[in-house]
Amino acid sequence: MRIDNHTPKQDGFYMPSELSEHRCTYILWPERGDNWRHNAEKAEHVFTEVARTIAKYEPVVLCVSPREYPVALNLNLPNVQVVEMTSNDSWIRDCGATFVINGRGNMRAVDWSFNAWGGLVNGLYFPWDQDDLVAAKMCAIEAVNRYRLSDFVLEGGSIHSDGEGTILTTEECLLDPGRNPDMTKEEIEEKLKEYLGAEKVLWLPKGIYMDEDTNGHVDNICQFVAPGKVVLAWEDNEEDPQYERSKAALDYLESETDAKGRKIEVVKIHVPNPILITKEESSGVDIVEGTFPRNEGDRLPASYVNYYNCNGAIILPVFNDPHDEEAIKTLQELFPNKKVEPIYAREILLGGGNIHCITQQVPKP
């Protein structure tokens, strides 16, 4: 059921941290050949590995188009339910529901408007109508009521919640003219507080260098590891364009406190060396007018911070890069009670995001 004229905050609901316990994880199957090379044949393998790995720790709901449904069903993955779902692409973090709870065992969801990361201004494809229905379908499957925002565009990858009143986002994304061009920063902040049940929004200036698909989603540069503590994608080389972005985020975080007045502890995780699209990779992607191209030589927005927290594990993208080991070690030290599960994720990166972008948690209310 759709709830209008109230907000989650008015009703006592808030977005829990991704670190709190999940009921399950949703994933959307990749398919479109103008984003995934060779009609997603290679991406399917990595998505399957992500689903199989998460399913060792919590149930997975794998949402698949009618055409691909038999393929996914025949994988017969343990602890994975396959449901039929039409969509335009496979980024459920962004087009899916944001679940909110009230601490008394109840759950609802926020169903933001989705416009393919910028609509007709700078969106990545047209149409996006089926993606915009994904959140409602998830709510139906989960049997929860939803707050639908027909007049406010937001993707789940552009926000993180610490579950204690603080939201993390970026100015680069939320103030981009492709989302809510008629709203001021203050109005956008108010919407986040009302619909995520929060008290304070921390605005990092920018996301990862060349994260042009999403206009700098926060989930690629920074993530809570505990209330008052974050990991930040870092670059030591001052000549690299990533350096000034990471440094600006660090300076901002060090100058701020969270909703509870805590200073924010920052743990750096160095980004991989620059990863460029090869000729072979570029040539496997269908060229379609109106769709964002994947050109040979383009630098990809690679970051370890785009990992996913599930119940007993950290599902970490790795790139066969010299920095992989350090990222694994840092996260294993930060989460001694979870297992770090590295997955070679270049194929997801080629599509424009990574493991966090293709997953969406449903909390255990």
Nearer to ligand KQY by C-beta: 101 or 124?
Answer: 124
Query: Is the Cβ–Cβ distance between 203 and 170 less than 8 Å?
Result: yes
Nearer to ligand KQY by C-beta: 94 or 132?
Answer: 94
Nearest to 310 by CA among 102, 118, 57: 57
What's the CA gap between 145 and 224, in Å, rounded? Answer: 27
What's the CA gap between 43 and 47, in Å, rounded? Answer: 6
* Edge-to-edge strands, sheet with 360-363: 80-84, 60-64, 22-28, 360-363
Write down the least CB distance from residue 73 to ligand KQY, Å. 25
Write down the least CB distance from residue 291 to ligand KQY, Å. 8
Residue 66: CB atoms within 10 A of its CB come to 9
- Report helix, strand and coil shares of the chain as percent, to nearest 5: 30, 25, 45
Write down the least CB distance from residue 351 to ligand KQY, Å. 6
What's the CA gap between 157 and 88, in Å, rounded? Answer: 17
Nearer to ligand KQY by C-beta: 216 or 228?
Answer: 216
Nearer to ligand KQY by C-beta: 13 or 91?
Answer: 91
Site residues, ligand KQY (CB under 6 A): 35, 91, 93-94, 124, 157, 213-214, 217, 292, 351-353, 357
Nearer to ligand KQY by C-beta: 178 or 353?
Answer: 353
Write down the least CB distance from residue 55 to ligand KQY, Å. 22
Query: Is the Cβ–Cβ distance between 227 and 162 less than 8 Å?
Result: yes
- Give the residue ranges of DSSP H helices in the chain: 41-54, 69-73, 92-95, 119-122, 134-142, 171-174, 185-196, 241-254, 279-283, 324-334, 346-351
- Give every CB contact of residue 126 below 8 A, 6+ residues apart in sequence: 116, 120, 290
The residues that are catalytic are 357
Write down the least CB distance from residue 88 to ligand KQY, Å. 10
3-state secondary structure of 124: coil
Nearer to ligand KQY by C-beta: 13 or 117?
Answer: 117
H or E segment and range at residue 61: strand 60-64
In terms of Cβ atoms closer than 10 Å to its own Cβ (0-12, 13-18, 19+), residue 295 is exposed
Write down the least CB distance from residue 261 to ligand KQY, Å. 31
